[in-house]
Amino acid sequence: MPVISYIDAVTQALMEEMKRDPRVFVLGEDVGVRGGVFRATVGLIEEFGEDRVLDTPLTESAIAGVAIGAAAYGMRPVAEMQFADFIMPAVNQIVSEAAKIRYRSNGTWSCPLVIRAPYGGGVHGALYHSQSVEKIFTGVPGLKIVMPSTPYDVKGLLKSAIRDEDPVLFFEHKRCYRLIKGEVPVEDYTVPIGKAEVKREGTDVTVISYGLTLHFALQAAEQLAKEGISVHVLDLRTLIPLDKEAVLEAVAKTGKVLIVHEDNLTGGFGGEVAAVIAEEAFFELDAPIKRLCGPDVPAMPYSPPLEKEFMLNPEKIAKAIRELAEF
Amino acid sequence: MPVISYIDAVTQALMEEMKRDPRVFVLGEDVGVRGGVFRATVGLIEEFGEDRVLDTPLTESAIAGVAIGAAAYGMRPVAEMQFADFIMPAVNQIVSEAAKIRYRSNGTWSCPLVIRAPYGGGVHGALYHSQSVEKIFTGVPGLKIVMPSTPYDVKGLLKSAIRDEDPVLFFEHKRCYRLIKGEVPVEDYTVPIGKAEVKREGTDVTVISYGLTLHFALQAAEQLAKEGISVHVLDLRTLIPLDKEAVLEAVAKTGKVLIVHEDNLTGGFGGEVAAVIAEEAFFELDAPIKRLCGPDVPAMPYSPPLEKEFMLNPEKIAKAIRELAEF
Amino acid sequence: MSELKHTALGLSDEQVLDMYRYMLLARKIDERMWLLNRAGKIPFVISCQGQEGIQVGAAFALDREKDWLCPYYRDLGMVLVFGQSAKDQMLSAFAKKEDPNSGGRQMPGHYGDRRFRILTGSSPVTTQVLHAVGIAYAGKLEKKDHVVLTSCGEGSSNQGDWHEACNFAGVHNLPVIFMVENNKYAISVPLNKQVAGGDVSKRAQGYGFPGVKVDGNNPLEVYKAVKEAVERARRGEGPTLIEAVSYRLVPHSSDDDDRSYRAREEVEEAKKNDSLVIFRNYLMEAGILTEEKEQELNKQIAREVDEATDYAEKAPYPDPEETYKHVYA
Amino acid sequence: MSELKHTALGLSDEQVLDMYRYMLLARKIDERMWLLNRAGKIPFVISCQGQEGIQVGAAFALDREKDWLCPYYRDLGMVLVFGQSAKDQMLSAFAKKEDPNSGGRQMPGHYGDRRFRILTGSSPVTTQVLHAVGIAYAGKLEKKDHVVLTSCGEGSSNQGDWHEACNFAGVHNLPVIFMVENNKYAISVPLNKQVAGGDVSKRAQGYGFPGVKVDGNNPLEVYKAVKEAVERARRGEGPTLIEAVSYRLVPHSSDDDDRSYRAREEVEEAKKNDSLVIFRNYLMEAGILTEEKEQELNKQIAREVDEATDYAEKAPYPDPEETYKHVYA
Ligand SMILES: Cc1ncc(C[n+]2csc(CCOP(=O)(O)OP(=O)(O)O)c2C)c(N)n1
Ligand SMILES: Cc1ncc(C[n+]2csc(CCOP(=O)(O)OP(=O)(O)O)c2C)c(N)n1
Ligand SMILES: [Mg+2]
Ligand SMILES: [Mg+2]
């Protein structure tokens, strides 16, 4: 299997889905001629022309709203928000419209729309090019939220998202774009939305994570293995719908849980995961449920020492796992 | 002490704060001549004139954005969103601006702004006049989020919010407006932001709630007392900053916790509360942490049988408490 | 009714009579809903009264077989012309299971009907204006020649989404008709506190497409403007903005009391220009409507509304379990 | 440089020379930042190059003692005139503790300085346009007579917030100057795919206030337009929209590569109209600037930039614990 980068997996999925289905089109700021500011849509305009690879005006609410109209009509738009931070002007369209179209029309209309957005920090992006924004949407029924960590999952899940009958928010960690590489089949395949995956088997402590921190957790696990601590790592991959079964199974494996995400702690999705565990796997637990997350500050600062302080890393995670293991 | 309604407490707080501080002004749709569609701002324009009681154009992002500018300048704007559901177009201004002004300017600027919004269902408001929207904001550091349940708390907390140096979202349950009455002092007083309150002492099961469901919980507790079950009821009043101390104390009282809110379960604030308990009061627990919340559907439907199905009530809460008590 | 004659617009006597019938039907359904509301039978009404001329005039200028509507909550007249019935309205008002818009999930006035290419709408104003642009863009991709008409109130046209929609449609020259139904109030807020400059139609110049202001109390004038806009759109010449001026004859909704913010005299004055009065007179003068025909029409419509009310009142509610359906496919 | 003479505008020789000095200072700081970026010393630059004439022309027309700025990320020229120094810029570029805008928390170009009434800004475009309206409204409440100038790019002016801001300011006749710096590109997207109709200035008509389009490469023309707008505003006559046309001479930012979307010839052509070239020629022809004076000026500015760079490079970073400060009061 060829080894490709996380961002190439995005491009390949788009390319293949646009070939497969003429209803698929992409739209966003600079996605056409420029191929996206991260180059995720590179090569598409040459292949499919400017109508299907649409450089929109600088208006996120319009990107979402126009895509919603087109999706309700029967197309399969894939909208790009240039940075997840800039999804905010589109919140009304996403929350009030996309998420509610099926429900409010008693199932007679639908909104098969994908919104892709690069999120996350560690790239000197400062406050407004580093945020994790999933918490804004995880409480909004009607949306699906996908946050893959590997090229394989990116490609398979993006394809599933495009083929899904409902609106999917597809968040790509921008630090992973060129950092993370992995094997990806040449043949068409999909990864189902709503299924977590065990990325490492272990017996002492369970780490539940997604995105960049998932890789940090794997690195921490590798390190801790040498110290004799066996870490079980679950990659949520999809936040909504949450794969509760996989979560509960992973908890049962070790009885000790550390939930890790880059998004800030309070009000982050880790709270939901912890709550599910505290309700449904209470008797499996041998220790308090721990969360290790971004700090509760408005966003990640620019200055290197502050950015470093904000970001998680394998060492911070290893430390938290050790504490749990010793519990 | 005079007994007044929940909404009158809003009006009184506004009236008194506007008298106290000339920098305070209110703005929003229909807040002036009409006195607000719920009449929360009734009488203010007569007292303070149309400049300080400003009927704005129908533009929520502008209401928030103009208020933010005025607040940064040094005024004390109190903006009204006509319904909490319609705060969505203002999310960018609230999340990207209000919440981050102090932090991004290294403390040199601030945004002492209050945004009031009626939320919640049970009023035949259908999908878009019934939502609880706190979950959109509870994960956004820099904001404070207040959700009072009694006229006393409404008045005291709204005053605190107006005097606060940071942006406060002040959510008023619209079903409480005329339903809930209570004693309120004539003299000036405040209720501190960030302090929960035990609204009933008990020994068997702890219920943690806020808003309308707090009253349902109290009614359920009253009923259950007759059955011999003693219920401890904590009113969060402020969601952010969360009064962890009070939460942990309330948990310790009984060892059994039921978290109740009208907002839907998944991604709701109850998850955060449960996570805090599961981490910090794990050894106090005698049973799994239970949540009883609105269902995970996009919003509350209009048709009476569906609205009833969606809404919580004292019976549903009593049932959940009974189950926990018997655990 | 000025000089404008229906024949000059290519409308037959039958067609204008049909227009009047739709206007009257909309009015009578609306009036009935207020009665039902005041009798405690339905929780909420939001009215088309005063705007029937705009809605019916506009809808008649569209192709009801292929064009699309992204309407707003007052557009009862429009959705009737496109195919919805009095029964559909009453099922919605009573929030019954059979309501074709939402199965009783949404308030009345939240139209949405696949049968007639009426996109499902919501309460937050102006979101539909962007959806209309999306449907127009989809048509471009699929090489269809449908036109999309979307409407909102003059207050709502100040929302950011409206600007973004006009700009997007302008850049891509899309077949969208932006209709703004200026009824002079947004709940209690009058035009001068709402729309800077006072002229919504002028805003089109900033997007490089035509903007026209028409007398919304004259359905023929609206028809003419929309017809021209449809032709431009169909020829690939892009969007048109139409500001149709009328007056909201009743309170904002059944929850409103408009006495606190506008004088009764103003309302009474406006009633003289009610499109129903004006168009009736025109048809009478033209001999197309007679006292006799009118009686017949009134009877027919009354029956239609009665039957619809009856049917809807007796129709079943959705089951409580329906609450959990249609969250995802 | 057309007929427009500085003396006719009431500007002294000294003042125009000062304007030129600010333009040059902005350019030199900006150029230095690119060098530092390419040398791996600072992670990011976003440029004012090509827009100095707009920024300095505009700022000179304001009252630096009482007026307010809600600028955008390219407005280096503006903030320098209002009082920020080269050192301030370098402290920000190096993300050092002493950076007056944010203590190193924000990227360069995210201005904010209480000392000079420059409101703290963010990255999401156009939000500041509403803040400007709020500051103007606050002035009205407090019976102050400050004017607020807010600026953004032509792409950003399509955001909903821009429309809502213009409308709000128009309704309340507020002393706001909406400056749109049209540099023909929004990252890679050219004007014709961005601004329907192509004329931002025309949009003012839809809000009932004047909109003018000026040559942004001519600081005197910008000065004149802003001066008039300030006078209108101060007289209580409300907002003005000014579209100042220039060209973005460099890539969007240090992360961009503009070769993929625009021809080198186009950029070279634009350089001929660079406001620095044009204004320099004007001052030379007018005998206000001489080769000698220029050398002196260049030396002075080079020293200023050198010293600022040096200082900032050596200045301390904020402590990691600073991460947790200033979330709430
Ligand atoms: C985003 C949003 N904000 C507020 C409301 C509440 N609201 C409903 S209708 C209305 C007034 C609308 O006025 P206008 O656009 O002139 O339309 P009209 O009702 O007069 O036809 C308001 C404020 C809403 N539905 N959506
Ligand atoms: C809301 C938002 N969306 C997207 C971006 C990313 N972005 C930054 S600058 C820019 C282009 C701005 O173009 P224009 O307004 O013309 O200003 P210019 O950079 O040309 O001066 C974009 C898309 C952003 N900062 N904010
Ligand atoms: Mg209106
Ligand atoms: Mg530009």
How many beta carbons lie within 10 A of that of residue D210, not counting itself?
A: 18
The 10s digit of each residue's pLDDT in D240-293 is 999 999 999 999 999 999 999 999 999 999 999 999 999 999 999 999 999 999
User: Bridge partners of B27?
Assistant: B54, B79
Residues of A in Cβ contact (< 8 Å) with B261: none
Which D residues in the span 175-194 are in contact with C, Cβ-Cβ below 8 Å? 192-194
From edge to edge, which strands make up the β-sheet containing A290-294? A197-200, A231-235, A205-209, A257-264, A290-294
Q: Is residue D161 less than 8 Å (CB to CB) from chain C?
A: yes
Q: Do domains B3-183 and B197-326 have the same CATH topology?
A: yes
Which of D170, D195, D199 lies at the smallest CB-CB distance from C197? D170
From edge to edge, which strands make up the β-sheet containing A238-240? A53-55, A24-28, A76-80, A114-119, A168-173, A144-146, A238-240
Predicted pLDDT at D192: 98
Which chains contact D through at least 3 pairs of Cβ atoms less than 8 Å apart? A, B, C
Q: CATH number of A197-326: 3.40.190.10, 3.40.50.920, 1.20.1730.10, 3.40.50.10800?
A: 3.40.50.920
The 10s digit of each residue's pLDDT in D120-176 is 999 999 999 999 999 999 999 999 999 999 999 999 999 999 999 999 999 999 999
**C196–D207 CB contact, under 8 Å:** yes
**D319–A129 CB contact, under 8 Å:** no
CA angle A222, A228, A231 (to 5 degrees): 50
| Structural domains in chain D plus CATH codes | 2-318 (3.40.50.970)
Evaluate if residue B153 carries a pLDDT over 60.
yes
Distance D196 CA to ligand 1 centre (A): 27
Predicted pLDDT at A196: 98
Predicted pLDDT at D3: 62
- Spatial distance between the Cα atoms of D44 and D109, rounded to a whole number of angstroms: 10
Which of A142, A264, A280 lies at the smallest CB-CB distance from B141? A264
Best of B105, B109, B145, B165 to disrupt the D interface (most D CBs within 10 Å) is B105
Q: Is residue A57 less than 8 Å (CB to CB) from chain C?
A: yes
Distance D186 CA to ligand 3 centre (A): 35
- What is the position in ligand 1's atom list of the atom closest to the CA of C252? 19
Which chains contact B through at least 3 pairs of Cβ atoms less than 8 Å apart? A, C, D
Ligand 2 within 6 A of A56 CB? no
Ligand 2 within 6 A of A132 CB? no
| Annotation marks residue A215 as catalytic | no
| Annotation marks residue D114 as catalytic | no
Place of tokens 């550390």: A258
Q: Which of the residues of C are catalytic?
A: 248, 252, 261
Paired tokens of D203: 């949009």
Pick the residue from chain C with its C-alpha nearest to B126.
C106
Evaluate if residue D2 carries a pLDDT over 70.
no
| Residue whose CB lies within 8 A of the most ligand 2 atoms, among A58, A63, A174, for a mutation test | A58
DSSP 3-state assignment of D151? Answer: strand
- Spatial distance between the Cα atoms of C213 and C203, rounded to a whole number of angstroms: 11
Query: Contacts from D59-64 at CB under 8 Å and sequence distance 24+?
Result: D59/D22, D59/D149, D60/D11, D60/D15, D60/D19, D60/D219, D60/D223, D61/D222, D61/D223, D61/D224, D61/D226, D61/D227, D61/D229, D61/D230, D62/D147, D62/D149, D62/D226, D62/D230, D63/D146, D63/D147, D63/D230, D64/D116
> Which residues, chain by chain, have CB under 5 Å from ion ligand 4?
D 153-154, 183, 186
Report how far apart, in Å, the C-alpha atoms of D69 and of each of D85, D132, D200 are: 16, 8, 21
Evaluate if residue B138 carries a pLDDT over 70.
yes
Burial class (CB in 10 A: 0-12, 13-18, 19+), D247: buried
DSSP 8-state secondary structure symbol assigned to residue A174: T
Distance C125 CA to ligand 1 centre (A): 6
- Spatial distance between the Cα atoms of D46 and D153, rounded to a whole number of angstroms: 13
Q: Ligand 2 atom 6: the closest Cα is on which residue?
A: A82
**A142–B298 CB contact, under 8 Å:** yes
Domain boundaries, chain B: 3-183, 197-326
Residues of C in Cβ contact (< 8 Å) with D161: 160
* Band of pLDDT at residue B264, cut at 50, 70 and 90: very high
The 10s digit of each residue's pLDDT in D257-267 is 999 999 999 99
**A88–B96 CB contact, under 8 Å:** yes
Pick the residue from chain A with its C-alpha nearest to D186.
A58
**B297–C124 CB contact, under 8 Å:** no
DSSP 8-state secondary structure symbol assigned to residue C319: P
Q: Is residue B179 less than 8 Å (CB to CB) from chain A?
A: no
Helix runs in D142-238, H state only = 160-171, 219-234
How many beta carbons lie within 10 A of that of residue B194, not counting itself?
A: 17
- What residues in chain C have per-residue pLDDT under 50? none
Distance D125 CA to ligand 2 centre (A): 6
Predicted pLDDT at D4: 72
Residues of B in Cβ contact (< 8 Å) with A299: 100, 103-104
**D187–A29 CB contact, under 8 Å:** yes
Q: Please say whether the beta carbons of A5 and A180 come within 8 A.
A: yes
Q: How far apart are the CA of C155 and the nearest CA of chain B, in angstroms?
A: 6
Predicted pLDDT at B145: 98
How many beta carbons lie within 10 A of that of residue D15, not counting itself?
A: 14
- Spatial distance between the Cα atoms of B121 and B311, rounded to a whole number of angstroms: 7
Query: H or E stretch including C291?
Result: helix C291-314
Q: What is the pLDDT along chain A (327 residues), one digit of tens a residue?
A: 999 999 999 999 999 999 999 999 999 999 999 999 999 999 999 999 999 999 999 999 999 999 999 999 999 999 999 999 999 999 999 999 999 999 999 999 999 999 999 999 999 999 999 999 999 999 999 999 999 999 999 999 999 999 999 999 999 999 999 999 999 999 999 999 999 999 999 999 999 999 999 999 999 999 999 999 999 999 999 999 999 999 999 999 999 999 999 999 999 999 999 999 999 999 999 999 999 999 999 999 999 999 999 999 999 999 999 999 998
Predicted pLDDT at C2: 54
Q: What is the CATH number of domain A3-183?
A: 3.40.50.970
Residues of C in Cβ contact (< 8 Å) with A100: 122
Whole-prediction pTM: 0.98
DSSP 3-state assignment of C69? Answer: strand
Evaluate if residue D1 carries a pLDDT over 70.
no
Q: How far apart are the CA of C106 and the nearest CA of chain B, in angstroms?
A: 5
Report how far apart, in Å, the C-alpha atoms of A118 and of each of A157, A169, A215 are: 15, 11, 17
A296: left (phi over 0), alpha (psi -120 to 50) or beta: beta
Q: Which of D163, D234, D252, D262 is catalytic?
A: D252
- For C247-285, give one letter per residue: b (16+ CB within 10 A) or e: bbbbbbbbbbebeebbeeeebeebeebbbbebbbebbee
Residues of A in Cβ contact (< 8 Å) with B138: 266-267
Q: Please say whether the beta carbons of A278 and B274 come within 8 A.
A: yes
Residues of A in Cβ contact (< 8 Å) with D321: 309
The 10s digit of each residue's pLDDT in B194-221 is 999 999 999 999 999 999 999 999 999 9
